[in-house]
Amino acid sequence: MSTNNLHSSNLPGRHRLGRVWLVVFQVALVVGVVALCALLFNILNGSFGYVAVQDKVNPATLAVDGVPLEELDKDTLIQVLQANISAGLMARYEFDKPFAERDAGEVYDLILERVVAPEFVAQWSLYESLTNAGEVRATAAQEYPEARLEFRSWLNWHFLRAPQSSYPEIAGVRTAVLGSLWTISIAVLFAFPVGVAAAVYLQEYAPDNLINRIIQTNITNLAGVPSIIYGILGLAIFVRALGAFTSGIAFGVTDPATANGRTILSAGLTLGMLVLPLIIINAQEAIKAVPSSLRQASYGLGATRWETVWHHVLPNAMAGIMTGTILAISRAIGETAPLIVIGASTFIQVDPEGPFSKFTTLPIQIYQWTARPQSVFRNLAGGASLVLLGLLLTMNATAIILRNRYRRSQ
Amino acid sequence: MSDTAQATASLNGAAILSKDLSIYYGDFQAVRDVNLDIQTNRITAIIGPSGCGKSTVLRAFNRMNELIPSVNTKGEVLFRGENIYAPDVDPVEVRRRIGMVFQKPNPFPKSVYENVAWGARINGHKGNLDELVHSSLKAAALWDEVKDKLDQSGLSLSGGQQQRLCIARTIAVRPDIILMDEPCSALDPIATLRIEELMRDLAKEFTIIIVTHNMQQAARVSDRTAFFSLSEDGKRAGMLMEYGDTKTMFTRPEKKITEDYITGRFG
Ligand SMILES: Nc1ncnc2c1ncn2[C@@H]1O[C@H](COP(=O)(O)OP(=O)(O)OP(=O)(O)O)[C@@H](O)[C@H]1O
Ligand SMILES: [Mg+2]
């Protein structure tokens, strides 16, 4: 090829530079993937593995007339239970829910929980359990001769359904999951309409003047404020100043388990404040992306501003607004610090009943379990982390499906 | 057109009359002292070099400029003898009476039917919507092509069909005047010819003002032509240079600058 002396076309050098950058990009990708794998490994490592379980009473000894425990009928099961626990405890169970209303399975569960009372005496990580099963078995046999070795998934049906408990054997995440769902729902119910309305105002109505520019800058900056600050804000406003409302006293409803404004409502509103700037900014971007030719077409037909916004701008921005909201919710569902500040309960066993109940949430539950000295709670935390991730994925998937359906119907 | 409109129109012969119309973008004067009378049921072409303010003037005729925050309009635009910039005039009403078709076809991302029906519906149309959609699409010479796909998206049509859909949508709200800003510039010659034929038909019922860069189009389609150009004092403000019958303009223009532009020696 002919060359002229105007260009010092160092083509091989330029290609080399390109290859160097390509390698940089690939390395960056690998780092990201490794970090992700490490995260997954860490969670899975704690969520599955061998446990040594030791029963207080061997279930075989509870057989009646040679019929094993699990095949007994309800009445016999009640007798077994009665024979093994105190009369006071028996009366409490009767009070909680009369035995006449319980089925055989429930009574059997009570016997397992109270009489057989299996205890986790040792547990191993997934990695150990898979790579070193022989040694695990040997150790277990040597150190806990009376225990049996089970491969356990810490994430299981019981774990999802059972309330919080200080016994790791029967503890579950039900209270925390319900608490998370409640707070997130309230946060979204509050922040979505307010955020979208604010975004519509800023994008479609607000004149470009100093005040509006200051407001805009503030919203942008608020999105970056650390969440603990929102916690302090929530504590001051929702828990303290508006305590009469957030505890339900002002409405004449007081939850028996209420705690002076440290309720689901306060938590939901605090999370709502936290995600509000995110929702506003994302909704603004989505509204900006609606082509101005659409607005012109609408105005050109004699539509008012409101008609233009309602019939054209919002429907066309909705997919983007929803995406932004999903991102915001994903952030909120994992928030721990602000909820601790406004006073999430550290230990509650009763399901939240409404916005005025005390609450705990999944990330708080995880945090508490990891902070416990007994190593078995770390496995519970691993299981709860899986639940949290699952919850997040489900919500995202639902939102994406909703969004795609919306797009198609457009 | 209503009887009163007919009466007013025949009284002064002008559908739109601008008096000393000047338009500013911030401090920049884009259009200076335009005095123009647009005649009823005629097609008026606005021609002129790029940047001379044709679109700006056109948008001033239905107050679309107000959607641009920095715009400032001085002077008067009389529509049926009434200044549309008077304080008590609602721009929404002005835009229903004076519709607009844009350079790039911009149907709504809705069904063909909804595209036509929407404007009429929000404006409180009382008659039968199906009939209105039918007659508007027929008037826009589009009915035969879309009668089987009324519930398909307006965006699924070809460019030329989309532009005719936009015209149908504009007709459906029964304006008196239709403003068209380079309506054919995104279309191929055949689609362009169809729109031109359509305009001739529509002129029986509507007053049409069309901005175009295409001299042949202006000559073919319009009754009157307004030639705009930039002022020669260095301020680059758009001014009305010559205005008259299209035939006269294209055969015996009064001004040298008009002749230069029309014959392509300028621009
Ligand atoms: N939104 C705007 N903000 C600021 N200045 C503008 C705006 N729109 C147009 N102008 C300016 O006003 C002048 C006239 O513009 P206009 O669009 O009316 O010209 P035009 O004759 O339609 O040109 P073209 O033939 O290229 O479409 C130009 O100098 C342009 O830069
Ligand atoms: Mg233009």
**pLDDT tens, residue by residue, B166-202:** 999 999 999 999 999 999 988 888 889 989 999 999 9
CATH of the domain at A316: 1.10.3720.10
Taking the CA of residue B228 as reference, the ligand 1 atom at the shortest distance is 21
Provide the pLDDT confidence category of residue B220 given band limits of 50, 70 and 90. very high
Q: Please determine, for residue B7, whether its predicted confidence score (pLDDT) is greater than 60.
A: no
Chain A environment of B169 (Cβ under 8 Å):
297, 301
B92 to chain A: closest CA residue: A302
Q: In Å, how far are A111, A200, A259, A377, A381 from A164, measured between CA atoms? A: 19, 43, 18, 12, 12
Distance CA A35, CA B184 (A): 55
Question: What is the reported pLDDT for A254?
Answer: 67
CB contact under 8 A, A300 and B108: no
Token pair recorded at residue A148: 């049996």
Chain B environment of A314 (Cβ under 8 Å):
none
Higher-pLDDT residue of B67 and A97 is: B67
Domain count along chain A? 1
Provide the pLDDT confidence category of residue B230 given band limits of 50, 70 and 90. very high
Question: What is the average pLDDT across A22-28?
Answer: 97
Taking the CA of residue B59 as reference, the ligand 1 atom at the shortest distance is 18
Question: What is the average pLDDT across B225-239?
Answer: 90
DSSP string for residues in chain B: --HHHHHHHHHHSEEEEEEEEEEEETTEEEEEEEEEEEETT-EEEEE-STTSSHHHHHHHTTTGGGGSTTEEEEEEEEETTEETTSTT--HHHHHHHEEEE-SS----SSBHHHHHHHHHHHTT--S-HHHHHHHHHHHTT-HHHHTT-TTSBGGGS-HHHHHHHHHHHHHHT--SEEEEESTTTTS-HHHHHHHHHHHHHHTTTSEEEEE-S-HHHHHHH-SEEEEEEE-TTTT--EEEEEEEEHHHHHHS-SSHHHHHHHTTS--
CB contact under 8 A, B107 and A297: yes
Distance CA A393, CA A43 (A): 15
Domain enclosing residue A226, as ranges: 175-409
What sign does the dihedral A140-A144-A150-A151 (CA atoms) show? negative
Q: Does A303 touch chain B (CB under 8 A)?
A: yes
Q: What is the pTM assigned to this prediction?
A: 0.84
B25 touches ligand 1 (CB under 6 Å): yes
Question: What is the reported pLDDT for A148?
Answer: 86
Provide the pLDDT confidence category of residue A2 given band limits of 50, 70 and 90. low
Provide the pLDDT confidence category of residue B5 given band limits of 50, 70 and 90. very low
CB contact under 8 A, B102 and A304: no
Token pair recorded at residue B86: 């008077």
Indicate whether A38 belongs to any domain.
Answer: no
CB contact under 8 A, A297 and B64: no
Indicate whether A200 belongs to any domain.
Answer: yes
Indicate whether B14 belongs to any domain.
Answer: yes
Question: What is the reported pLDDT for B6?
Answer: 45
Question: What is the reported pLDDT for A4?
Answer: 63
Question: What is the average pLDDT across B42-57?
Answer: 94
The crossing angle, in degrees rounded to 10, of helices B159-172 and B112-122 is 20
Indicate whether A123 belongs to any domain.
Answer: no
CATH of the domain at B23: 3.40.50.300
B32 touches ligand 1 (CB under 6 Å): no
Q: Please determine, for residue B115, whether its predicted confidence score (pLDDT) is greater than 50.
A: yes
Q: In Å, how far are A251, B42, B160, B203 from B209, measured between CA atoms? A: 64, 8, 19, 10
Distance CA A357, CA B197 (A): 72
The one-letter amino acid at A324: G
CA angle B124, B128, B130 (to 5 degrees): 110
Question: pLDDT over 90 for what percent of chain A?
Answer: 42
CB contact under 8 A, B95 and A300: yes
User: Of B99, B104, B110, which is closest to A300 when you measure between CB atoms?
Assistant: B99
CB contact under 8 A, B106 and A296: yes
CB contact under 8 A, B100 and A300: yes
Indicate whether B267 belongs to any domain.
Answer: no
Question: What is the average pLDDT across B121-137?
Answer: 93
Distance CA B212, CA B45 (A): 7
Chain A environment of B209 (Cβ under 8 Å):
none
Question: What is the average pLDDT across A367-383?
Answer: 89
Question: What is the reported pLDDT for B107?
Answer: 96
Query: In the sheet that B14-25 helps form, which strands lie side by side, from edge to edge?
Result: B82-83, B71-79, B14-25, B28-39, B238-245, B224-230, B43-47, B207-211, B177-181, B98-101
Q: Please determine, for residue B266, whether its predicted confidence score (pLDDT) is greater than 70.
A: no
Query: What residue has token string 């007798």?
Result: A79
Indicate whether A221 belongs to any domain.
Answer: yes
Indicate whether A102 belongs to any domain.
Answer: no
Complex ipTM, two decimals? 0.90
B118 touches ligand 1 (CB under 6 Å): no
Question: What is the average pLDDT across A86-104?
Answer: 85
Question: What is the average pLDDT across B26-47?
Answer: 94
Distance CA B226, CA B249 (A): 9
Helices (H), A251-313: 264-288, 292-300, 305-308
B50 touches ligand 1 (CB under 6 Å): yes
Question: What is the average pLDDT across B80-85?
Answer: 92
The pairing of strands B28-39 and B207-211 is: unpaired
Question: What is the reported pLDDT for A409?
Answer: 60
Domain enclosing residue B119, as ranges: 3-262
Token pair recorded at residue B43: 């097609």
Q: In Å, how far are A118, A144, A156, A381 from A54, measured between CA atoms? A: 5, 8, 19, 22
Indicate whether A4 belongs to any domain.
Answer: no
Higher-pLDDT residue of A166 and A406 is: A166
- Ligand 1 pocket test, pick from B52, B180, B241 with the greatest ligand atom count within 8 Å of Cβ, gives B52
Indicate whether B103 belongs to any domain.
Answer: yes
Whether the CB-CB separation of A370 and A145 falls below 8 Å is answered with: no
Task: Tell me the average pLDDT of chain B.
Answer: 90
The crossing angle, in degrees rounded to 10, of helices A210-222 and A264-288 is 120
Question: What is the reported pLDDT for A353?
Answer: 80
Question: What is the reported pLDDT for A150?
Answer: 87
Lowest mean pLDDT among A236-240, B53-57, B184-188: B184-188
Provide the pLDDT confidence category of residue A114 given band limits of 50, 70 and 90. confident
Provide Rg for chain B, Cα atoms.
Answer: 18
How many other C-beta atoms lie within 10 A of the C-beta of residue B18?
Answer: 23
Chain A environment of B92 (Cβ under 8 Å):
302-304
Question: What is the reported pLDDT for B8?
Answer: 44
Q: Report the separation in Å between the CA atom of B267 and the middle of ligand 2, taken as the mean of its atom positions.
A: 14
pLDDT tens digits for A204-227? 999 888 999 999 999 999 988 999
Indicate whether A287 belongs to any domain.
Answer: yes
Q: Please determine, for residue B100, whether its predicted confidence score (pLDDT) is greater than 60.
A: yes
Query: What residue has token string 């790579």?
Result: A131
pLDDT tens digits for A124-179? 999 999 998 899 889 988 888 888 888 989 888 888 988 888 888 888 899 899 99
Q: In Å, how far are A296, B133, B152 from A410, measured between CA atoms? A: 19, 20, 11
For residue B53, which of B211, B224, B179, B266 has the smallest C-alpha distance? B211
| A-proximal residues of B, 48-107, CB under 8 Å | 62, 64, 67, 69, 92-93, 95-97, 99-100, 102, 104, 106-107
Question: What is the average pLDDT across A343-350?
Answer: 78
Token pair recorded at residue B75: 């002077």
Token pair recorded at residue A29: 């990708």
CB contact under 8 A, A297 and B173: no
User: Of B104, B109, B169, which is closest to A301 when you measure between CB atoms?
Assistant: B169
What is the three-class DSSP state of A315? helix
Determine the distance in angstroms separating the CA of B201 from the nearest CA of chain A, rounded to an integer.
21
| A-proximal residues of B, 124-153, CB under 8 Å | none
Indicate whether A2 belongs to any domain.
Answer: no
CB contact under 8 A, A307 and B122: yes
Longest dimension (CA), chain B: 57
Domain count along chain B? 1
Question: What is the reported pLDDT for B3?
Answer: 45
Question: pLDDT over 70 for what percent of chain B?
Answer: 94
B81 touches ligand 1 (CB under 6 Å): no
B2 touches ligand 1 (CB under 6 Å): no
Closest ligand by atom to B48 CA: 1
Provide the pLDDT confidence category of residue B4 given band limits of 50, 70 and 90. very low
Question: What is the reported pLDDT for B237?
Answer: 92
Question: What is the reported pLDDT for A305?
Answer: 94
* All residues at 6 or more sequence positions from A136 whose CB lies less than 8 Å from its CB, including other chains: A50, A124, A128, A129, A149
Higher-pLDDT residue of B84 and B234 is: B84
Question: What is the average pLDDT across A280-295?
Answer: 94
Question: What is the reported pLDDT for B181?
Answer: 94
For residue A232, which of A288, A261, A185, A270 has the smallest C-alpha distance? A270
Higher-pLDDT residue of B210 and A79 is: B210
B11 touches ligand 1 (CB under 6 Å): no
Q: Does A206 touch chain B (CB under 8 A)?
A: no
Provide Rg for chain A, Cα atoms.
Answer: 29
Whether the CB-CB separation of B206 and B175 falls below 8 Å is answered with: yes
Query: In the sheet that A48-54 helps form, which strands lie side by side, from edge to edge?
Result: A119-123, A48-54, A148-153
Question: What is the reported pLDDT for A258?
Answer: 57
Token pair recorded at residue B226: 């307004």
